[in-house]
Structure 1
Amino acid sequence: MSITTILILIALGVGSAIIGAIVGIGGGIIIVPTLIFLGEHAILHGITPQTAIGTSTVILISTGLSASIAYLKNKQADLKNAFIFMIGIIPGAIVGAYFSQFLTIHSFNLYFGMFLIFMSIILMVRNRFKPIKLFQNEAYTKTFTDKEGKVYHYSIAPIPAVIATFFVGCLTGLFGIGGGALMTPLMIIVFLMPPHIAVGTSMIMIFVSSLTGATSHIIQGHVMWGYAVILIIASIIGANIGVKVNKNIKSDTVVLLLRLILMALGVYLIIKSVMG
């Protein structure tokens, strides 16, 4: 492995983890398409959609764990509701990891791009949505005051939450994204969680779902361990930087960054699919 390749992997690991930890997406939506791009241009060898997804999933274990610990220390994560989400997301991740073997580069770029744009649009109009009573349960009501003094009240009904997170888990295993690209918007829009708490809780989900999905990908031989080791070390550094940055920015800024990143990546992947 050349010095240039190592430097590229370090930059990818640190950069994706910083962005992922700030907005609660884990960095998988950056790592996967980037690995595929580098593989297509012979900068990295042996990369397929399956190995990119499998390698990303392993990396997200370290990113999710380091960021989760930091967010829990800062009291920016809802551990109680995280356990409820885990019940659905774990089996979903296993199912999604199995079906990932049927993806081609073209289909991955198209479907993943459409998914990211959809989530970006949902975040854009999130304030127009009225609370969905099906997902609310007063017995689970919590209160949170952010750094601007804005008070949030939110509650989560366990059964609908488990069903919703099962489908999130399926997408997690299928695309190798850690679930954050969907979990963060879901918690903000459907469960009315404060953005900062949604990001912290999402990182716990990313850790758990990635741990589960990675097991399946390892069994299927989808992990490029040489690349993974470098990316893991770099992502741990980046995740801790991202947590510190998140703590010092406004909630609306977190949502704006998440929306812009999802839209930009979605458009890029669809164009890539069409041009390819």
Structure 2
Amino acid sequence: MEFAYSFAGLLVGFVVGLTGIGGGALMTPILIVIFGIPPVVAVSTDLIYASVTKSGGVFAYARKQLIAWRVVILLLLGSIPGSLLTLNYLKGFADLSQIEHLMNLTLGFSLILTSIAVFGRNRIREFALQQESKPWVSSARKIRPYVTFVMGLVLGSLVTLSSVGAGALGTALLITLYPRMSMPTIVGTDLFHAVILTGVAGAGHYTMGSVDLALLGYLLIGSLPGVFVGSYLGAKLSPKVMQPIMGSVLFAIGLRFVLAG
């Protein structure tokens, strides 16, 4: 079984390296559906797994000054309280089955939203850029910091409940709010925010005793070489091919969890 966990980590790491998408969105469903890991343990362990695996990429973006720190702070002002409030809400449940039901439903909806974000990333950016010259957009910029804060609040709750949403969904929301920001800066900003958010949420779940450290270790053993190989091959593949495939897979998985919930 230990080898199977590491192989799952290798597979997910490879997909993440290949496409830049799918860490929590793939790992959590695999742990629940294939390995029969309880949703609470799967989500909790995957949060720390995501924080560790994504942290390596942050330094490269920071060195190249591709992180919008003001946007990161606005996001964290919403997402950290959102995560802590959600953790406190979960601690109020006496019945574990209620928590698992809530997590399954949230995971399903988060995966469906993420699949839409993957499918529509380019169209979202094109539409947002087209709206930039409209008069109402200039007025809307005044409230953009508040919208960013609310976006962080929602992401904090979603990620804490499902371990999904910090990546592709966060990127799509940033593209919508900040269409003039370069894509590398959007990715770097979202990545840094995701590392902090998943780390905080994972630490909160750890205090609840739901993180499986042995499982985490086996996943990391496989994922690190997987990310390396996937990143090497990903540079040779067109995102026009990979994005529809990933979007379809995530949508199918999400639908499965919604219907099962």
TM-score of the aligned structures, taking structure 1 as reference length: 0.73
Partner Cα distance (1:69, 1:240) in 2: 16
Corresponding residue of 1:265: 250
Instruction: Report the CA distance shift for 1:22/1:95 in structure 2 as closer, same or farther (over 3 A).
Output: farther
The one of 10, 13, 31 equivalent to 1:17 is: 13
> Is 1:164 aligned with 2:172?
no
Aligned match of 1:174? 161
Q: 1:237: how far off?
A: 3.7
- 2:115 is aligned to 120
1:241, distance to aligned residue in structure 2 (A): 5.0
Q: Per-residue deviation at 1:120? A: 3.2
Secondary structure of the residue aligned to 1:57 is: helix
Unaligned stretches of 5+ residues in structure 1: 41-46, 138-155
Question: When you count helix as a share of all residues, which structure comes out higher?
Answer: 2
Instruction: Report the residue type matching 1:268 in the other structure.
Output: I
Alpha-carbon distance between aligned partners in 1 of 2:51 and 2:13, rounded to the nearest angstrom = 11
Cα displacement string for residues 217-269 of structure 1 (whole angstroms, at most 9, x for unaligned residues): 0011111111011223433444455566667777xx28x74564244222233
What amino acid sits opposite 1:169 in the alignment? G
User: TM-score, normalized by length of structure 2?
Assistant: 0.76
Alignment equivalent of 1:32, drawn from 14, 22, 28? 28
8 Å CA contact retained: 2:66, 2:185: yes
1:189 correspondence with 2:188? no
Structure 2 unaligned residues grouped into runs of 5+? none
In the alignment, what sits opposite 1:200?
188
Amino acid at match of 2:206: I
Shift of 1:136: 3.4
Q: How many residues of Structure 1 are paired with residues of Structure 2 in the alignment?
A: 245
Which of 132, 136, 139 is equivalent to 2:141?
136
CA contact (8 A) 1:50 1:100 kept: no
CA shift, 1:135, in A, is: 5.9
- Alignment RMSD: 3.2
RCO higher in structure (CA 8 A, sep ≥6)? 2
Partners of 2:195 and 2:11 lie apart in 1 by 18
